[in-house]
Amino acid sequence: MCGRFHNHVKAMHEWVDVLGDWPGETALSYNVSPTQIVPIVVEGTEEGVTVAARWGLVPAWAKDFANKYPTHNARLETASEKPSYRSAWKHSRSCLVPTGGFYEWRKEGSLKQPYFIHKADDMLVFAGLWEAWNDRVSFTILTTEAVGLVARLHHRMPVMLTPRKAVEWLEKGTAEPDILQDQGVYQDVVFHTVSTRVNNARSDGAELVEAMPAD
C-alpha cells in the first residue's frame, strides 16, 4: 500500500520528456498524505501535462469533493470492478505520480517504525487513475502484491513504472493493463529507517527521509 510519499523531485535524465512541465506551480512535500493537493501527470499532445489533484479519488457521482472514503489506493486486481474507480478505469484516465520514494511502517516491539523506500539514484513513478469532479481533479495510486525487498515491510506496494512503461501507461492506459505487469523496476529499490516525525502528517522537511544512525 502507500499511505505517504515524498515528491520533492525534479524530472531528470530519461524522465524529462515523459513528465513534461513537472511539477508546475503545485506545492511539493516530503510528507504527502491523503487529501492533499499535489501534482500528477496526465497525457498531453506530445508529452505529459502536470495538473494539481487531490490524493484520494472522488467519483464523479459523489455528492461533494470531500470524499470520506479511503480511496487514495486502489488494488490493481479489482480497480475495474469497484464503483469508485470503475469509470476512471473504463475511460482509461491514467496518470503518473512522480515521487522521491514512499514510506511504510512496521511494528517493532511497542514502536511503529517508519521506513523510507526509494531508488538510490533516481525517482520512482507510480501508476494511478484520475477522475474529474466538476472542475476539480482527484487521483488514486494503483497497488499490487509486494515483491522483493518491499515485501519485508508490507504485503502491498505501489505499481512502479520504468520511463518506457510510463509513456505506454499514459498513451494506452487500461486498454492494455498488461503494461503494469513489468516488475523489473522493483529490483532496484532500497529502504532505511527514518525518524518517527514522519508519523505526524503535519511534519515536513528533507530530514524526514534521512537514514537514522545505526545503534
Q: Which domains does the chain have, with CATH numbers?
A: 5-101+122-145+156-184 (3.90.1680.10)
212 phi and psi angles, rounded to 5 deg: -75, 140
Q: What is the pLDDT of residue 122?
A: 86
DSSP label of 200? S
Catalytic residues: 2, 104
Q: What is the pLDDT of residue 110?
A: 82
Q: What is the pLDDT of residue 183?
A: 63
Q: Does residue 211 contact residue 194 with C-beta atoms inside 8 Å?
A: yes
Mean pLDDT, the chain cut into blocks of 10 residues (215 residues total): 88 85 90 96 84 94 82 95 95 96 90 91 93 94 90 91 92 90 77 94 95 78
Q: What is the pLDDT of residue 184?
A: 67
Q: What is the pLDDT of residue 72?
A: 95
Q: What is the pLDDT of residue 213?
A: 80
How many other C-beta atoms are found inside a 10 Å radius of the C-beta of residue 141?
26
